[in-house]
Amino acid sequence: MKFGVNCTFTDQSTMSPAEYGRAVEERGFDSIFLAEHTHIPVDEKSPYPFGDRPASLYHTIDPFVALTAMAGITHHLLLGTGISLVAQRDPITTAKLIASLDLVSQGRFIFGIGSGWNAEEMANHGGNPAKRGAIATEHILAMKEIWHHEKAEFHGEFVDFDPIYSWPKPVQQPHPPVYVGGGEKAFARVVKAGDGWFPNPQSPVGLKPKIERLRELAGREVPVTVLHVGQAEPEIVGGYEEAGVERIVFPLDTEAPDPLADLDKLVTLTADVAACRERPRP
């Protein structure tokens, strides 16, 4: 079982992205995933789906900038978006951005993507929120064409371009892994355009049959990383491994007075999970 961290960086974070990334790597975590919001509309009415709306949503640093800062000071830490709002990003520009980050990090980028919950945010980018799932799928497919081919072209409903040259190409082949966020409604996107699934359950209860169903639909071994948003207890966390999860990512607050203390608590938790795994069962 692998363990990672999920967070955002803001202009009020108590540590810089580079410092925090180095601390995460030094404590043995395998990955860090950063969330994305370009802005929050003043008249936004979309309900926040994860409980109380954090004030940090209004102050987030661009995740790709933060991950690039980490790339220069870490050596093994996997650097991911968790999640990037791919439906409101230009696919040609984003393909170059990701290939560049994968290059400077020497092949350590993971592209966690989602269609997003904030309809007004997407509308400000010129997209149709009612079709954001289909747009996200097509954007990923278009980016993969750019990553895979010297002369790339794509002709779809939402993306349409004649042959183009775009370098650099990603270090990872055939491309950085694309982990699709969302619940079972995202399965079709995982099968068609993704490489892994990135759900955010509160516990592993009922997750195993969903993973088995996804792998059956895909006809392949789909890796699963979860953002665990429930109670962080060893028995609960350990249940994810039995469900077939490869990695658990825990949300942490970079605006906390001492974010390293919270990180160290997580180190203790992961050690307890390992101890529970090795304990003989009655």
Rg (CA), the chain: 19
- Per CATH, the architecture of 2-278 is what? Alpha-Beta Barrel (3.20)
What are the domain boundaries of the chain?
2-278
Secondary structure (3-state) at 123: helix
pLDDT for the residue 274: 77
Phi–psi pair at 220, nearest 5 degrees: -160, 170
Residue 40 burial by CB count (10 A; 0-12/13-18/19+): exposed, middle or buried? Answer: middle
pLDDT for the residue 279: 60
Which residue's entry shows tokens 């355009």? 193
pLDDT for the residue 278: 63
User: What does the mean pLDDT of the chain come to?
Assistant: 95
Sorted by sequence, the CB contacts under 8 Å of residue 149 that are 6+ apart come out as: none
Positions in the chain short of pLDDT 70:
277-282
Contacts 24+ apart (CB under 8 A), 257-261: 257/14, 258/14, 259/13, 259/14, 259/15, 259/20, 260/15, 260/23
Which residue's entry shows tokens 């993969």? 144
Strands 225-227, 196-198: pairing is unpaired
Token code pair at residue 150: 């010297």
